[in-house]
């Protein structure tokens, strides 16, 4: 694959931008016509124009749009603030106005092609009983090349730094991919007797040991040599961007791969969207549009982080073998003490199968048995572990109680 593919893609998007903006303008004119004109006249034209206007990805982070939350019998407004930031990510605080003191929680978001806003539902739920912070990662295509590299070590370093900002007796909840770095950060902090080492660590659907019941994702990562990933998936950020010439795994390639895994479903969703728009079924159309507005808001991955993860986590399985290092130091999960450990898995998870996250329990031999909790949620896939009905009604109450017991 040509390393200039990303540049060609960006050029194409720039050239076709007038077509999309023109379609949006035409839609605005159509809305000026009187109501009551038959659907067959304008409905499908308007729907087609809107579909054209949506034929692009966005590289800007969507809003979190966190709603006021009930704390006890009081409704508290939520205000976003950034107490600490680096060129690669911000420590974003969802501050509740007038709320009593509650356990501080760092929600560690994956760096896997989408923004941390993918966890807005997780945040909304956690805010009921916790003082919530999140790792709000920035898009590498917007980070100048002179800011340096960002690999697995740098990711882990950010978690340690962010926990230091939260202070003692705080808690860490890692969702999916960052479970490896979260466990590494806790091991290093415990070994150093760091003042802000977490009071508890929760790992949700994370690839601690991908040798256990490998999924198709795991098998693909092992099916080719590392050089293949470097040669075929790594691109240079286009010259139009602030991060020009930075090496990344582009978001448009990632989302193409995601869509291809369930192509029939996505095609059907867009056919349904077209029909809903044509018939004026606004509420049904908005549900689909909201999903795809988030799904097609994509984030590039720093090349170093992507390659480190493929090699260390999915090909060589360094953490469960006791060979993972952080800045030259061996990461020893057995050094974790005086900390609660909770692992959560989904019965139908086809990205991180049952047993892969549970493996952390065996690695953390220094954690007392009575401070270990494992939960396998029946009937949910990967995303159901941290979002949706069963997350809210069955998983979250267990997590809430676990955090409060360890506070």
Note the pLDDT tens digit of each residue in 112-141.
888 999 999 999 999 999 999 999 999 999
User: What pLDDT was estimated at residue 212?
Assistant: 97
pTM for the model: 0.89
Over range 333-348, report the average pLDDT: 97
Residues of the chain with pLDDT > 90, as a percent, come to: 70
Q: What is the CATH number of domain 69-219+301-405?
A: 3.40.50.1820
User: What pLDDT was estimated at residue 114?
Assistant: 86
User: What pLDDT was estimated at residue 85?
Assistant: 98
Q: Tell me the CA distances in angstroms from 303 to 153, 213, 247, 309, one per residue in order.
A: 13, 27, 5, 10
Over range 162-175, report the average pLDDT: 98
Over range 400-405, report the average pLDDT: 98
Q: What sign for the dihedral angle of Cα 206, 210, 212, 213?
A: positive
Q: Is 382:346 a contact under the CB 8 Å cutoff?
A: yes
Q: Tell me the CA distances in angstroms from 344 to 76, 114, 243, 360, one per residue in order.
A: 29, 22, 36, 11
User: Residue 122 and residue 132: Cα distance in Å, rounded?
Assistant: 10
User: Residue 183 and residue 208: Cα distance in Å, rounded?
Assistant: 9
User: What pLDDT was estimated at residue 12?
Assistant: 76
More confident residue, 147 or 7: 147
User: Residue 75 and residue 179: Cα distance in Å, rounded?
Assistant: 33
User: What pLDDT was estimated at residue 63?
Assistant: 93
Q: Is 171 helix (H, G, I), strand (E, B) or coil?
A: strand
User: Residue 114 and residue 137: Cα distance in Å, rounded?
Assistant: 10
Q: What sign for the dihedral angle of Cα 163, 168, 170, 173?
A: positive
Q: Is 386:177 a contact under the CB 8 Å cutoff?
A: no
| Average pLDDT score over the chain | 89
Residues of the chain with pLDDT > 70, as a percent, come to: 85
User: Residue 45 and residue 126: Cα distance in Å, rounded?
Assistant: 43
Is residue 24 over pLDDT 60? Answer: no
More confident residue, 9 or 398: 398
Is residue 263 over pLDDT 80? Answer: no
What burial class does residue 176 get, using C-beta atoms within 10 Å of its C-beta: 0-12 exposed, 13-18 middle, 19+ buried? buried
User: What pLDDT was estimated at residue 264?
Assistant: 78
More confident residue, 67 or 12: 67
Write out the H or E segment, with its range, that includes residue 272: helix 263-279
Best CA proximity match to 362, nearest among 334, 383, 390, 403: 334
Note the pLDDT tens digit of each residue in 194-239.
999 999 999 999 999 999 999 988 999 999 999 999 999 999 999 9
Q: How far is CA 342 from the centre of its chain?
A: 20
Is residue 40 over pLDDT 60? Answer: no
User: What pLDDT was estimated at residue 407?
Assistant: 93
What band does 240 get if pLDDT is binned at 50, 70 and 90?
very high
More confident residue, 30 or 127: 127
User: Residue 84 and residue 93: Cα distance in Å, rounded?
Assistant: 9
259: left (phi over 0), alpha (psi -120 to 50) or beta: alpha
Q: Looking only at Cα atoms, what is the longest distance across the chain?
A: 71
More confident residue, 157 or 270: 157
More confident residue, 133 or 71: 133
User: What pLDDT was estimated at residue 113?
Assistant: 83
What are the structural domain ranges in the chain?
A: 5-56+251-295, 69-219+301-405
Q: Is 99 helix (H, G, I), strand (E, B) or coil?
A: coil
Cβ neighbour number for residue 99 with a 10 Å cutoff:
17
Q: Is 177:148 a contact under the CB 8 Å cutoff?
A: no
User: Residue 354 and residue 358: Cα distance in Å, rounded?
Assistant: 8
Q: How many CA atoms lie within 13 A of 370 on its CB side?
A: 2
Q: What sign for the dihedral angle of Cα 134, 139, 144, 146?
A: positive
Q: Is 319:336 a contact under the CB 8 Å cutoff?
A: no
Note the pLDDT tens digit of each residue in 95-105.
998 899 999 99
Best CA proximity match to 381, nearest among 179, 205, 121: 205
**Listed range (249-253, 294-298, 397-401) with the worst mean pLDDT:** 294-298
User: Residue 252 and residue 56: Cα distance in Å, rounded?
Assistant: 10
More confident residue, 49 or 118: 118
User: Residue 119 and residue 135: Cα distance in Å, rounded?
Assistant: 11
């Amino acid at each position: 694959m040509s390393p200039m593919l990303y540049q060609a893609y960006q050029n194409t998007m720039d050239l076709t931008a007038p077509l999309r903006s023109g379609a949006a303008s035409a839609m605005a004119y159509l809305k000026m016509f009187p109501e009551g004109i038959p659907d067959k006249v304008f409905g499908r034209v308007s729907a087609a124009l809107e579909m054209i206007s949506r034929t692009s990805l966005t590289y800007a982070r969507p809003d979190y749009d966190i709603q006021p939350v009930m704390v006890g019998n009081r409704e508290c407004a939520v205000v976003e603030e950034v107490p600490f930031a680096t060129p690669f990510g911000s420590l974003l605080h969802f501050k509740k106005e007038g709320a009593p003191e509650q356990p501080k929680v760092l929600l560690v978001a994956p760096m896997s092609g989408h923004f941390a806003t993918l966890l807005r539902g997780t945040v909304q739920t956690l805010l009921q009983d916790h003082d919530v912070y999140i790792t709000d990662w920035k898009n590498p295509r917007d980070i100048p090349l002179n800011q340096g590299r960002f690999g697995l070590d740098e990711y882990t370093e950010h978690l340690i730094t962010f926990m230091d900002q939260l202070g003692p007796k705080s808690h860490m909840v890692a969702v999916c991919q960052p479970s490896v770095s979260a466990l590494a950060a806790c091991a290093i902090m415990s070994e150093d007797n760091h003042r802000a080492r977490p009071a508890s660590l929760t790992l949700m659907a994370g690839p601690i040991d991908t040798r256990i019941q490998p999924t198709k994702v795991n098998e693909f990562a092992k099916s080719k040599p590392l050089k293949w990933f470097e040669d075929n998936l790594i691109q240079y950020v286009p010259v139009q961007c602030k991060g020009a010439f930075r090496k990344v795994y582009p978001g448009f390639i990632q989302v193409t791969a995601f869509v291809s895994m369930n192509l029939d479903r996505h095609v059907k969703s867009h056919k349904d969207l077209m029909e809903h728009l044509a018939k004026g079924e606004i509420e049904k159309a908005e549900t689909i549009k909201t999903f795809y507005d988030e799904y097609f808001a994509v984030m590039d991955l720093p090349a170093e982080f992507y390659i480190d993860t493929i090699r260390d986590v999915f090909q060589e399985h360094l953490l469960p073998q006791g060979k993972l290092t952080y800045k030259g130091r061996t990461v020893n999960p057995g050094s974790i003490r005086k900390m609660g450990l909770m692992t959560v898995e989904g019965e139908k998870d086809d990205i991180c199968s049952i047993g892969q996250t549970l493996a952390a329990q065996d690695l953390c031999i220094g954690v007392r048995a009575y401070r270990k909790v494992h939960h396998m949620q029946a009937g949910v896939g990967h995303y159901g572990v941290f979002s949706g009905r069963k997350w809210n009604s069955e998983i979250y109450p267990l997590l809430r109680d676990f955090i409060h017991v360890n506070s």
